[in-house]
Chain A
Amino acid sequence: MQEIWNYLKDFNFASVVVRLLLAMISGGLIGYGREKKERNAGLRTYMLISIGAALTLLISFYENEMLTGAWASVTEKLGMKFDASRFAAQVLAGIGFLAAGTIVASAHQQVSGLTSAIGLFAAAVLGIASGAAFYECVIPAIVIIIFSMEVLQPLEVLYKRRLRNITITVKYINPTDVDMIKRTIEDQGAQLFDIDPEEVDEDNYPSAIFSMKMSKEKSSHSEMLSSIAELPCVLSLHELIS
């Protein structure tokens, strides 16, 4: 067992296969959970990035092998000017750019795709570690990363519920209607944090983002929303859920 382990830590054909496969699996496992949620980045995307990241480090291993083996005469003459982590270092920058493309800032101050972007980054880093034959890190890390991404999410939702903080965008008829909306919110016992008027749309009706903390006793989440929506001056209401 120990011999196989040590053999796979060396740079040889079998270990290259194992490292690439491990990278593919780790990317696939992260991608599976994301695909299930129908997020923007799916199973294949994560796999491709993990495999690519693993190959960068394998190229470094290969070059090191050649510099100390077949090309040793040149190395002796010029000195060893080689940095084995240089390829992998650029993966972090490259995937950073690529992942940034998945982050979308949509209307009403919402940002989505951030977890997908970080997931891509995690897949790349796991790929690098697999390429380095750092198996004792990759295997627990897969478990921990998937735990954080999948199991902690419902916990976070639960925690946010308890905070009773909500943010809504309301479109109304006259700019002066803000007062009425504000009064309705405060009548429900909520504590209003912020009213942030938005730019006027094409249809010329003003809208604003209200963020508030609801009271525990006085009204439920849906009661709050319907009481605002039923005001005669309110045209439409959007709840922002981050």
Chain B
Amino acid sequence: MLGIFDGIRDITALSTMIRLLMAVLLGGLIGLERSYKNRPAGFRTHILVCIGASIASMTGIYLYLNMELPTDISRLGTQVVSGLGFIGGGTIIVINNRKIKGLTTAAGLWTCGIIGLAVGAGFYEGAILTTGLVLLAETAFSYLGSKITHNEAFKILLEYNDKNALNYVMRYCKNNRMAISNLEVTSMRDSAISVYSVILTVRPRDKVDKAKVISYINDIDGVISVESLK
């Protein structure tokens, strides 16, 4: 390991101060990026998590090294790992039945806590390197992630009066590697001729041109109208 940190690897008043300040710095760096994106857990939350974790890990070492109590130095720190898992789980919220939000915040908070543990243990190299990698993941790979093409599911509203039309549409989707993940049929009965309307949720397996799909479906016999829903 690097020699420059050798003087502050034991628990002394000086090294404790340095570790606490370093926890503030590293937690703050990660938190700054998060609060810049206006996420629920921002600057202060990350700093507090990082300080808390470093205190837990320092105390464990202090008990053994300075107080000379027969204990496992990592026992206090380890519980932070599962404890933060709980807290992180609480930041995840469910929206619209199937989608969730806040998972990256939870993962970031958890990783920030572990960086705090490393700082508290005096493992400065690991803490600083990891902070660098986390910031890299949050910035560069956040950009990369947004570049990855999503095969996003979309909904189409279809109105038809011929019973076979729906069959044709479904077969068309199947042949073009688009799975229909939800189907909602509602028929309108007030008119003399029965008109059916159906909302299809289509999940393409490859990239598709939405406009092309819709115009193809529009040309199927018996289809009255078709439009794409948000």
A93 proximal to B (CB < 8 A)? yes
Does B210 interact with chain A (Cβ within 8 Å)? no
Among B103, B125, B150, B180, chain A packs the most CB atoms within 10 A around the CB of B103
Q: With CB as the reference atom, state the residue of chain A lying closest to B168.
A: A222
Interface size class on chain B is 35 or more
Q: Are B137 and A106 in contact (CB under 8 A)?
A: no
A107 to B96 alpha-carbon distance, docked (Å): 11
Residues of B within 8 A of A185 (CB): none
* Bound-complex Cα distance A101 to B1 (A): 38
Chain B contacts for A183, CB-based, 8 A: none
Q: Which residue of B lies closest to A228 (CB)?
A: B185
Residue numbers of B with Cβ under 8 A of A are 1-2, 9-10, 57, 61, 64-65, 68-75, 77-86, 88-92, 94, 97-100, 103-104, 106-108, 110-111, 113-115, 117-118, 121-123, 125-127, 129-130, 133-134, 136-138, 141-142, 144-145, 148-153, 163, 166-167, 170-171, 179-187, 189, 194, 196, 198, 205
Indicate if the CB atoms of A70 and B10 lie closer than 8 Å: yes
List of A residues within 8 angstroms of B110 by Cβ: 48-49, 52, 94-95, 98
Interface SS majority for chain A: helix
| Cβ contact within 8 Å between B70 and A44 | no
Partner of A56, one of B10, B72, B97, B117: B117
B166 — which chain A residues lie within 8 A by C-beta? 222, 225-226, 229
User: Shortest beta-carbon distance, A12 to chain B, in Å?
Assistant: 7
Proximity bits, A208-226, B CB within 8 Å = 1, else 0: 0000000000001111011
Give every chain B residue within 8 A of A66 (Cβ-Cβ). Answer: 9, 122
| Closest A-B pairs by Cβ, 10 of them | A94-B85, A229-B185, A101-B92, A52-B111, A222-B170, A90-B81, A97-B85, A38-B150, A101-B89, A43-B145
Contact A239 B72 (CB under 8 A): no
Give Cα distance in the complex from A212 to B87, angstroms: 42
> Is A125 part of the contact surface with B, judged by Cβ < 8 Å?
no
A97 in contact with B100 given A229-B198, A241-B182 (CB within 8 Å): no
Q: Nearest chain A CB to B165's CB is how many angstroms away?
A: 9
Counted as pairs of residues, one from A and one from B, with CB atoms less than 8 Å apart, the total is 259
- 8 Å CB contacts to B: which residues of A58-102? 58-60, 62-63, 65-67, 70-71, 74, 77-79, 81-83, 86-87, 89-91, 93-98, 100-102
Distance in angstroms from A201 CB to nearest chain B CB is 14
**Beyond the given A62-B123, A78-B70, could you list 14 further A-B residue pairs with CB under 8 A, ordered by the A residue number?**
A16-B126, A36-B149, A38-B153, A45-B103, A51-B134, A52-B111, A55-B130, A94-B81, A97-B82, A98-B107, A98-B110, A225-B166, A235-B186, A241-B180
Which residues of chain A come closer than 8 Å to B79, judged between CB atoms?
90
A104 at the interface (CB under 8 A from B): yes
- Contacts A94-B110, A98-B107, A107-B97; A59 near B141 (Cβ below 8 A): no
Contact B85 A24 (CB under 8 A): no
Residues of B within 8 A of A58 (CB): 118, 123, 126
Q: Is the CB of B73 within 8 A of A82?
A: yes
Choose from A20, A37, A65, A236 the contact partner of B186 (Cβ within 8 Å). Answer: A236
**In-complex Cβ contact of A36 among B10, B80, B84, B148 (8 A):** B148
Q: Out of B74, B170, B185, which one reaches A86, CB within 8 Å?
A: B74
Q: Is the CB of A83 within 8 A of B72?
A: yes
Q: Is A28 in the interface zone, CB < 8 Å from B? A: yes
Q: Which residues in B have their C-beta under 8 angstroms from that of A37?
A: 150-151
Closest Cβ of chain B to A226, distance in Å, is 5
Q: State the CA gap A229–B195 with chains docked (Å).
A: 12
Contact A71:B65 (CB < 8 A) given known A38-B150, A56-B81, A237-B183: yes
CB contacts (< 8 Å) of A95 on chain B: these are 85, 110
